[in-house]
Amino acid sequence: MITIAQLSRLLVTFSVILGAHAAIAQNTPTSIWERAIEAARDRDVETAVRLFERCAQSAPNAPQIHYNLGYAYKLAGKLEQAIAAYERAIALDPDYVDAHFGLSLVCLLAGNFERGWQEHEWRRKFPGTRQLPLPVWDGSDPASKTIILQCEGQFGDAIQFIRFAQVLHKRGAHVVAGTKKQLLPLFKLCPYIDQLITAGDPLPPADFIIPYMSIPTALNLSVETVPTPIPYIHTNPQRDQHWHDFIHTNSHLKIGICWQAGNGDPNWEKHIRRSIPLATFAHFAHLPNVDVYSLQKDPAPEDVQLLAELGFADLSWALAESEGGFLNTASIVKQLDLIVSADTAVVHLSGALGKRTWLFLPVEPNWRWMLEREDTPWYPTMQLFRQRKPEDYEYLGQRLFEELVQLIHLHSKEERLCKN
């Protein structure tokens, strides 16, 4: 099955093949088309929008142009125009899978979950997507039914969407959850999952199957009805005790940080925009009564050196699969007062555990975080910090510092009250 990451790359990487499309080549100057694609790739948003608009005027009946114009509008944060452009592409080609999927992401980003999730089902029509071997659960009464949840996406997606296993379990279903092998030990601790399977395992007898990201469609999910049974991820008591003893050696505020998204992914370039420099956290080193722990797996050598210079504890050794992987990460997070991170699996884990979480978001956030708001319906204890413009890390660092000073003051008051 094609992954969400692969689908995202279909939107981010504009294919030069489109430049040779007959309708475009016949009606649009090639130089304008190529310059528009180049501008979009370089995130020169204003230029991309202007040039794609010119292309659309020259070839109004070419669905590929309206699709790319929709994506350019999305980059510019003009969601209504993006929706209109995608709708025009679909009107010209009703089976245009990329346009339907692009429309889904914009609708979800805009908070229109009802339409967004419906359009999101078009991902199942991408070439190479395997047919599901069982009837797809349609939202009907799941009581006494065995339902297989098919894993899709990355680690963060799996942690975010496993919450729906609890919803189905409470409604009487026998839940078989597919998962990535790295998450298997962590998900084994979830009492609402009756059976776990990983890639390559034979499917058990079942009544229905449903991919993780199709469950919102079956449930008619809206922003207001996102289930938040926090915490819905559980930890190992023995590991909890070990990390409590390791971390709680004083009464300081304990902060965990993570800055590099997509760590370990061979296509790491696509994660650059949602990552932040480690130096953004340098202010923390000057704050009294604060202990900082790095939750970054496999940090770069220069980051390891900077961690040492700042006096931050590097826990990357404890995050390796051989040391417990996500089991250790979850127990460490549970012992901390605050998690501050780029858009990584760590923030999903922290949010699912109900920890106070501060999430840095780029100018172009992922659909799940929507726009403008500082909170998220997915995780009640999470606060969103948004870039004002690309690579504007100084503003984020300063705002974070100011918020952290207030939190330290609150923590100190709580400590004094506890002693009294």
Residue 209 and residue 298: Cα distance in Å, rounded? 36
Q: What is the CATH number of domain 4-125?
A: 1.25.40.10
Q: What's the pLDDT score for residue 32?
A: 87
**Smallest Cα–Cα separation from 33: which of 13, 46, 50?**
50
pTM of the shown model? 0.89
The secondary structure element, H or E, covering residue 386 is strand 382-386
CA 337 from chain center: how many Å? 22
Write out the chain's pLDDT in tens, 420 residues.
333 333 343 433 333 334 334 444 445 566 888 899 899 888 899 999 999 999 999 999 999 999 999 999 999 999 999 999 999 999 999 999 999 999 999 999 999 999 999 999 999 999 999 899 999 999 999 999 999 999 999 999 999 999 999 999 999 999 999 999 999 999 999 999 999 999 999 999 999 999 999 999 999 999 999 999 999 999 999 999 999 999 999 999 999 999 998 765 645 556 678 899 999 999 899 899 999 999 999 999 999 999 999 999 999 999 998 888 999 999 999 999 999 999 999 999 999 999 999 999 998 899 999 999 999 999 999 999 999 888 788 888 888 889 999 998 887 766 554 555
Q: What's the pLDDT score for residue 14?
A: 39
Residue 149 and residue 213: Cα distance in Å, rounded? 9
Residue carrying the six token digits 């940090």: 299
- b (16+ CB within 10 A) / e for 291-325: bbbbbbbebeeebbebbeebebeebbebbeeeebb
Strand runs (DSSP E) across 117-216, as ranges?
A: 146-150, 174-178, 195-197, 208-211
Residues 6+ apart with CB under 8 A from 284: 255, 257, 290, 292, 310, 312, 401, 404
- Which two three-digit tokens encode residue 276? 């932040």
Mapped onto helix, strand or coil, the DSSP state of residue 196 is strand
Q: What CATH homologous superfamily does 237-419 map to?
A: Glycogen Phosphorylase B; (3.40.50.2000)
- b (16+ CB within 10 A) / e for 74-99: bbeebbebbbebbebbbebbeebbbb
Residues 6+ apart with CB under 8 A from 255: 284, 290, 291, 292, 293, 336, 337, 338, 339, 340, 404
Residue carrying the six token digits 């390791």: 246
Q: Phi, psi (5° rounding) for residue 210?
A: -155, 130
Give the bridge partners for 257, in sequence order: 294, 340
